[in-house]
Structure 1
């Protein structure tokens, strides 16, 4: 048995395990594995926290985007209402201006018409007085003629005014 290679291989293996145990290799291996396990747990916990933080940031940014879209929509609606109001106000002012200008033009036309009628009456009165004067001068002579002419002129003027 002492001469068998298998026996000495077994003795060598046992001595190897005894030396490893004496040096404290199993404790070191276990400690190293425990440290690695702890490091992996820490990394997993940090990854979980980072994921949760990322999700909360994503939710916050989505909420902000929705709020910004709602505010933009509100601003657009307000701008549309303001544009409608300004358009209606401009149209109303335009209608008022057109009405005022129409009235002013009508008043100007009426004044021009009244002035033309007055000028025609004045001209007609002057022509009638001139014609009456010519007729009376040709038919009547002397002081009587002058009295009749003056009376006729007064009557014509009163009727034309």
Structure 2
């Protein structure tokens, strides 16, 4: 036996490989739950195809929901842009109103100053007129009082003269003198 058969060499090599691996038997393929790797690939492809077919509806639902949210967000953004534009317009309007109000306030102040000066001038003129009028009224009262006093003095003087004349006439004129005076007056006529 100098040359062993070829089959022996193969078997001995196979035994050597098995001893080196530590399995001690035939090489087994890995399995999970009793399925071989090519079967797991088939199951995975089947799940992927089922997801592609039935998941498309879910995808459409998800994308539809996302599209709706995007549309809502765009609508909110458009509304925000409109509100911002309105706010800027209001800000500009109120800035213009404030500027006009400041101008109006300055004009009112100037008008009030002018009116106050006019009122002061009118008050001064009115007070001068009132003083003049009261002065004239006082002068008129004084003149009236003087006239009244003069009339009173004249009336008293007339009364005193009348009383004195009566006393003199009664004292100096008797019935004979009265007849002579009456005859003279009648003769002069």
Task: Kindly indicate whether residue 124 of structure 2 is the aligned counterpart of residue 91 of structure 1.
Answer: yes
2:115 corresponding residue in structure 1: 82
TM-score with structure 1 setting the length: 0.52
Aligned equivalents of 1:16, 1:51: Cα separation in 2? 51
2:100 corresponding residue in structure 1: 67
Q: How do residues 12-161 of structure 1 correspond to structure 2 at under 5 angstroms?
A: 12-23=43-54, 24-25=56-57, 27-28=59-60, 29-102=62-135, 105=138
Shift of 1:93: 1.5
| Length, aligned pairs only | 126
Aligned equivalents of 1:2, 1:104: Cα separation in 2? 142
Decide whether aligned partners of structure 1 residues 3 and 88 sit closer, same or farther in structure 2, where only a CA change above 3 A counts. Answer: same
Shift of 1:101: 3.5
Decide whether aligned partners of structure 1 residues 108 and 30 sit closer, same or farther in structure 2, where only a CA change above 3 A counts. Answer: closer
Which runs of no fewer than 5 residues in structure 2 stay unpaired?
1-27, 158-189
Secondary structure of 1:53's partner? helix
**Which structure ranks higher in relative contact order (CA pairs < 8 Å, sequence separation ≥ 6)?**
1
Shift of 1:21: 1.1
Deviation digits for residues 66-116 of structure 1 (CA, Å, limit 9, x no counterpart) = 333433443343233222212210111111232344455567668878999
Secondary structure of 1:82's partner? helix
TM-score with structure 2 setting the length: 0.46
Deviation digits for residues 9-49 of structure 1 (CA, Å, limit 9, x no counterpart) = 54444332211211224741334333332332222222112
Secondary structure of 1:58's partner? helix
RMSD between aligned residues: 4.1
1:4 corresponding residue in structure 2: 31
